[in-house]
Structure 1
Amino acid sequence: MLGADSSLDWVLILAPYRRDAEYLETLLKQHDVIVRRAEGPREVAKQLAEEPGVVVVTHEALSPAALGIIAAHVADQPSWSEMPIIVLLDKAAPHARIRAELNAKWSGSRQIFYQRPVATLELLSGIQSALLARLRQREVRDHIEREVELRRELNHRVKNILASVTAIFEMTRRSATSFDQMTKDFSGRLVALSKVHSVVFEAGGEAADLTEIVERTCSPYRNDGDDRITFAGPPIKIKRDAGMTLALCFHELATNALKYGALSRSDGRVRLEWALSSESNSILTLRWTESGGPTAAEPSKPGYGMRFIRSALRGLFGSPPQIIFDPRGLRCIAAGPFSRVC
């Protein structure tokens, strides 16, 4: 049996004569079903607009006005809806003709006919079955709405991904000195992008663990137990977009270290650390420190990687990172409110 707290669990009664409406209302209320009555065309239209679970119509209520109002409501239903209508007909009524007429006028409804007098248990069972059928229809509606929303979200994400890929390609193209270099750099950046999306997908939500993002991004440099890049920091969940930005920055730093910095030598190492302050307005700090490589020197003209890192980290944290060309090795320090990335 349906409970009284269900928003679907109410019945609209159209019974203008005798004591039919009172009887039906008393019967249904005894079984925790909410009941409303409607008298007159205006009231019928108003109650129908509030989407009853089931409509119960007696023979006497089948006036031309009521037929037309219900027909208009049924015709305006969405595709998932097939409103249940229970019709109580007199024994002497021309059942076949009435059924044919109502099937034609209310073709978008689910009609159930009873001949009066009808057993109380039979009528109650029919109304409860109709309410359950309506509940299933609403579940279909909710499923359709979720599907539509998921498609919209997928479309939005695909557009964002394509925009990111386009931007990465254009910046890679402008900074490349050869086709082979462009191909290699572009491929590496796409791999970094895809790894972040994998982390977020596997996390099952909009946030992902920073440690997992770092692990995936740095995994190519941590083969056979030779950890060229080590990292440490507390477990932190960050937003998908923030994770993508950081992964691309880590990828650019690692690529730069492989070409010019610590990873260009066998004994070179990189240490990536992050920390979160304990104050109420927590500050997230990231530190990339290289050692054991050639002497770091600031280039006369920064390449795409450094320009991207400065721009991306500034946009993420609200302040530019410190990129220090220390003779002992490159250092990059970025800090900002944790609320910007979580």
Structure 2
Amino acid sequence: MKDVPIDSELDWVLVLAPFRKDAEYIAAFLREQEIEVNATNGDGGLADQLALSPGIIVVTHEALNPHVVARVALHLAEQPDWSEVPIIVLLERTAPIARIRNQLLKSWPGARLLFHTRPVAPLELVNGIQSNLLVRLRQRQVRDSIERERELRLELNHRVKNILASVKSIFQMTKRGATSVEGLASDFSGRLQALSNVHSAVFEAGGEEVSLSAIVALTVSPYNSDGISRIDFTGPDLVVSRDAGTTIALCLHELITNAIKYGALSHPDGHVELLWSVATNGSSELSLHWTEVGGPTVREPTRQGYGTRYVRSALGSLFGAVPEIVFAPEGFRFSVKGSLTRISTRQ
């Protein structure tokens, strides 16, 4: 009999019948119902057929010899936890059904055994097979759910480790620049909030990428309230990686903190203009500009604070270029530019 091509994800029926006419007869009316069937007489081809993972096995009374029983038992023992293979046994009416059932239950403990006595009506057999194909579908759905749960656990473990590593890094960074316990607590809390903003944006985006506009909006939102905009931002809606978004959010937080302490945001009429743009000169280049306006007269410090050093280092590494920092009297300015490919996988 010609075998049908088998897709391992589409359940099919293996018929074990030593009499060729039996196999042809069973296969014929199953195929009429568009059920895929392969058949074997239980000799040399059985191992190969079982290796293709049939969804259901139909075995006739005559095929229940020690070789077939042992080979099927080995196949059942190799099944994963989610799999309970239905086996439909076609017995002669005069066969000792109870004894055969008990023997097979001992030999095939991992099977879902169903018995029919012959002659069996084609419709009855087809209905039984279709019902068990549905059982196999449910089993595969359980398998997929278990696999998804396993992948989610691994992903959660990975993300928790990354978050904890980020928190540890932020704490060490904050501790090195702290001059008091109150300052440490305040700065650490603010940086954690910036990190939280990124993870919230990524979660809402549903992947490992996030909108740059969303990152900026979440980071500056505490400073734009009650209809007053202290930080104006504009730029194309780019998608950046999680790591790039985290870095940008943390650096924006440092710039905001600096502006609140010493710059434009320390003055009632001061505000910040944040602009990013993409220029195409052979390759896409992203530019980011931070400009403070309306604040106190700026004087270049004799020593750069840790926040400024962090922003210079972090964004310089992210963009692959040295940022430009200008302590202009009319307002602090910061700008950096670099290849968009370093920040976003989409072009």
With the length of structure 2 as denominator, give the TM-score of the two structures.
0.92
Gaps of 5+ in 2: 1-5
| Equivalent pair of 2:292/2:333 in contact (CA under 8 Å) | yes
TM-fit CA distance, 1:220: 1.8
Residue 135 in 1 paired to residue 153 in 2? no
Tell me, what secondary structure is at the counterpart of 1:277? strand
TM-fit CA distance, 1:295: 3.2
Partner of 1:162: 164
Partner of 1:73: 75
Residue 222 in 1 paired to residue 224 in 2? yes
Partner of 1:179: 181
Matched residues, number = 339
Amino acid at match of 1:121: L
Q: Deviations over 1:30-79 (max 9, x none)?
A: 22222112344552222212211111111111111111111122122111
Structure 1 CA distance for aligned equivalents of residues 252 and 102 of structure 2: 72
Tell me, what secondary structure is at the counterpart of 1:170? helix
TM-fit CA distance, 1:6: 8.6
Residue 146 in 1 paired to residue 148 in 2? yes
Partner of 2:27: 25
| Equivalent pair of 2:41/2:63 in contact (CA under 8 Å) | no
Identify which of 191, 194, 207 aligns with 1:192. 194
TM-fit CA distance, 1:261: 1.3
Partner of 2:204: 202
Runs of 4+ in structure 1 off by over 6 angstroms are none
| Equivalent pair of 1:293/1:329 in contact (CA under 8 Å) | yes
Identify which of 294, 298, 301 aligns with 1:299. 301
| Equivalent pair of 2:8/2:53 in contact (CA under 8 Å) | no
Task: Flag the 1:28–1:6 CA change in 2: closer, same or farther, 3 A.
Answer: farther
Partner of 2:233: 231
Task: Flag the 1:81–1:184 CA change in 2: closer, same or farther, 3 A.
Answer: same
Gaps of 5+ in 1: none
TM-fit CA distance, 1:17: 2.1
With the length of structure 1 as denominator, give the TM-score of the two structures.
0.94
Q: Deviations over 1:309-340 (max 9, x none)?
A: 12221232222322222222211112222222
Identify which of 314, 319, 322 aligns with 1:320. 322
Tell me, what secondary structure is at the counterpart of 2:133? helix
Task: Flag the 1:6–1:124 CA change in 2: closer, same or farther, 3 A.
Answer: farther
Partner of 1:16: 18
Residue 111 in 1 paired to residue 113 in 2? yes
Tell me, what secondary structure is at the counterpart of 1:160? helix
Structure 2 CA distance for aligned equivalents of residues 232 and 90 of structure 1: 81
TM-fit CA distance, 1:258: 0.8
Structure 2 CA distance for aligned equivalents of residues 102 and 248 of structure 1: 66
Q: Bigger CA drift: 291-300 or 19-28?
A: 291-300
| Equivalent pair of 1:233/1:275 in contact (CA under 8 Å) | yes
| Equivalent pair of 2:19/2:41 in contact (CA under 8 Å) | no
Partner of 1:282: 284
Residue 260 in 1 paired to residue 246 in 2? no
Tell me, what secondary structure is at the counterpart of 1:299? coil
| Equivalent pair of 2:215/2:245 in contact (CA under 8 Å) | yes
Tell me, what secondary structure is at the counterpart of 2:229? coil
Task: Flag the 1:340–1:38 CA change in 2: closer, same or farther, 3 A.
Answer: farther
TM-fit CA distance, 1:280: 6.5
Q: Bigger CA drift: 68-77 or 182-191?
A: 68-77
Indicate the percent of aligned positions where both proteins have the same amino acid: 58
Amino acid at match of 2:76: V
Structure 1 CA distance for aligned equivalents of residues 270 and 118 of structure 2: 92
